Amino acid sequence: MQKDLNLRQGRLVGYPEDYYFELQDHPTTAKAVANTLSRQLHGMVYGIALPHWNLLEALQELDLWFGRKKTKTYVYNIVARSTLLHWIIEALSQDPELISICFWMINGKKIERWSTRKDGGLQFMDSLAVLQDLQVKENIFHVVHCLKFTIHPGNHKMYS
């Protein structure tokens, strides 16, 4: 690999066995072989490989799985989400104070000890914000109590 390539460009070069090409050495065409392997060709290979590399990086971020069954190819992605967590986040839309906090944070204002979660919820310090409603909290405790497996946050054991 050439020393003047940065790390990202170096990954694009790959290994010679990754590319199909034939190199035939003839004494009369040594100059043509040298021109073929010059930097100009590498620049062209970079130009061809870069869109494919960007596509592969985008697919990798989606965490897709590929499967094949007979003549069909399947692309799938499995995401497990807690319905309880989704229900808590939906319930937050009933509180005007939490709505205003979310509005200010979306518009770029930083509010001390508050942050947004990737799933759309609000987090106060290290805990998910829950609506201050007795009915909501009772529903949460009822659902958690009826779960098959319960793990206490301060413990490493699982109880059934």
| pLDDT over threshold 80, residue 24 | no
Task: Give the span between the Cα atoms of 59 and 45, in whole angstroms.
Answer: 21
- Hey, which residues does 114 pair with through a beta bridge? 124
- Hey, which residues does 127 pair with through a beta bridge? 124
User: What DSSP element (H or E) covers 122?
Assistant: strand 122-124
Residues 114 and 72 in one domain: no
Give pLDDT, residue 88. 85
Residues 99 and 138 in one domain: yes
What is the span of the domain harbouring residue 129? 83-145
Cα 84–Cα 86–Cα 92 angle in degrees, nearest 5: 105
Residues 56 and 103 in one domain: no
> Phi first, then psi: what are they for 90, rounded to 5°?
-65, -35
| pLDDT over threshold 70, residue 41 | no
Residues 70 and 13 in one domain: yes
| 122 assigned to some structural domain | yes
| pLDDT over threshold 50, residue 35 | yes
Give pLDDT, residue 39. 47
Percent pLDDT > 90 in the chain is: 0
Sign of the four-CA dihedral 153, 157, 158, 160: negative
Res. 68 pLDDT band, cuts 50 70 90: confident
Number of domains in the chain: 2
